[in-house]
């Protein structure tokens, strides 16, 4: 009975979005079928599906390559971002000296840096990985640092009663307190890493970015849409993975409650 209610609530919550999507696709199909917009500018959803099916082997290889680059970039930015945040948190002087430059670096558009990356790392995956890493580093670093700084002062006082070492404070209090912030940072970083990888691929070649770019030069708008949809699906799948991990952690360890 409880399970039925949960399903009912989930359906009620998601139904409006599904209805909207169905209406959008139907309208889109109608606009193209009745030739209100020529299909060399806007292919119908059906044309995009057909293009995806017909070119699936190429799309799949490109998807794998992009996913791999994103995995590397995101993995690196997670490891380095969390480590840097802990170092900045532990050494305030270093934070004051370096963090402003990290913020400045974040404001430089990735599309402007990408040619430099090609010069440094060459064409192909190393540049794409570096591009995904650069754009996804800051949200993880900033969120982790905020999480470490937001530790409940009451809990900090409690820990201090027992004279912990700085390492114990970080491992047993500050990192667990920061986990919700780290996961939020990771969620933001996923979307950005997809952007970084696609931009990197536009310049350095390979993956979905290259597929989209070559489809553009061949006036295959249907294939461009297909590549765009695949990159969105990739980001969405990764967000779902992170949300699942968050839910799993939350079920095992309540991290955001206060007593």
Partner 1 sequence: MIDFAIRINHLRKQFAQQRDIIADLSLALPAGTCLSLLGPSGCGKTTLLRLLMGLEQPSAGSIEIDPALRAHMTYVFQEPRLVPWRTALENVLLPLELQRNNDATAQQRAVSLLHRLGLGERLQHFPHELSGGMQMRTALARALVTQPHLLLLDEPFAALDERTRFGLQDLLLELKSDLSLQYVFVTHSIAEAVYLGDQVLLLNKHGRLETLQPVDLGARTQDTKLGIEFNAIAKQFSQRFAAIEQSA
Which residues contact partner 1 (rule: CB under 8 A)?
Answer: 154-155, 157-164, 168, 172-173, 176, 253-259
Whichever of 64 and 160 has its CB closer to partner 1, that residue is: 160
Closest to 127 (Cα-Cα) out of 195, 68, 197: 197
Greatest alpha-carbon span in the chain: 75
Q: How far is the CB of 142 from partner 1 (least distance, A)?
A: 23
Q: How far is the CB of 169 from partner 1 (least distance, A)?
A: 9
Whichever of 16 and 254 has its CB closer to partner 1, that residue is: 254
- For residue 246 the two structure tokens come to 């968050």
Q: How far is the CB of 182 from partner 1 (least distance, A)?
A: 14
Q: How far is the CB of 63 from partner 1 (least distance, A)?
A: 37
- For residue 53 the two structure tokens come to 């099916």
Whichever of 30 and 247 has its CB closer to partner 1, that residue is: 247
Whichever of 28 and 159 has its CB closer to partner 1, that residue is: 159
Q: What's the angle, vertex CA 181, arms to CA 259 and CA 111, rounded to 5?
A: 170
Whichever of 36 and 162 has its CB closer to partner 1, that residue is: 162
Q: How far is the CB of 1 from partner 1 (least distance, A)?
A: 23
Helix (H, G, I), strand (E, B) or coil at 248: helix
Whichever of 75 and 164 has its CB closer to partner 1, that residue is: 164
Alpha-carbon distance of 131 to 114, in angstroms, equals 7
Contact 68, 125 (CB under 8 A): yes
Q: How far is the CB of 231 from partner 1 (least distance, A)?
A: 36
Alpha-carbon distance of 7 to 12, in angstroms, equals 9
Checking phi first, is residue 22 left (phi over 0); if not, alpha (psi -120 to 50) or beta?
alpha
* Torsion angle of the four alpha carbons 31, 37, 38, 43, in this order, in degrees rounded to the nearest 10: -50
């Amino acid at each position: 009975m409880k399970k039925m209610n949960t399903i009912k609530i989930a359906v009620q919550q998601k139904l409006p979005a599904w209805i909207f999507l169905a209406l959008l696709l139907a309208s889109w199909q109608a606009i193209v079928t009745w030739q209100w917009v020529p299909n060399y500018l806007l292919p119908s959803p059906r044309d995009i599906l057909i293009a995806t099916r017909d070119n699936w082997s190429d799309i799949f290889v490109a998807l794998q390559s992009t996913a791999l680059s994103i995995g590397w970039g995101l993995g690196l930015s997670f490891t380095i971002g969390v480590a840097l945040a802990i170092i900045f948190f532990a050494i305030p002087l270093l934070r004051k000296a370096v963090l402003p430059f990290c913020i400045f670096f974040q404001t430089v558009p990735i599309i402007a840096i990408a040619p430099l990356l090609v010069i440094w790392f060459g064409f192909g995956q190393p540049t794409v990985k570096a591009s995904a890493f650069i754009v996804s580093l800051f949200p993880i670093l900033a969120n982790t640092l905020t999480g470490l700084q937001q530790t409940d002062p009451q809990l900090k006082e409690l820990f201090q009663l027992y004279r912990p070492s700085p390492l114990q404070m970080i491992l047993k209090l500050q990192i667990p307190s920061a986990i919700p912030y780290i996961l939020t940072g990771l969620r933001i970083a996923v979307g950005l890493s997809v952007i970084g990888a696609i931009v990197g691929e536009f310049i350095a070649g390979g993956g979905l970015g290259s597929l989209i770019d070559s489809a553009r030069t061949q006036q295959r708008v249907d294939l461009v849409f297909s590549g765009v949809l695949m990159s969105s699906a990739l980001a969405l799948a990764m967000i779902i993975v992170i949300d699942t991990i968050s839910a799993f952690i939350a079920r095992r360890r309540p991290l955001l409650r206060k007593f």
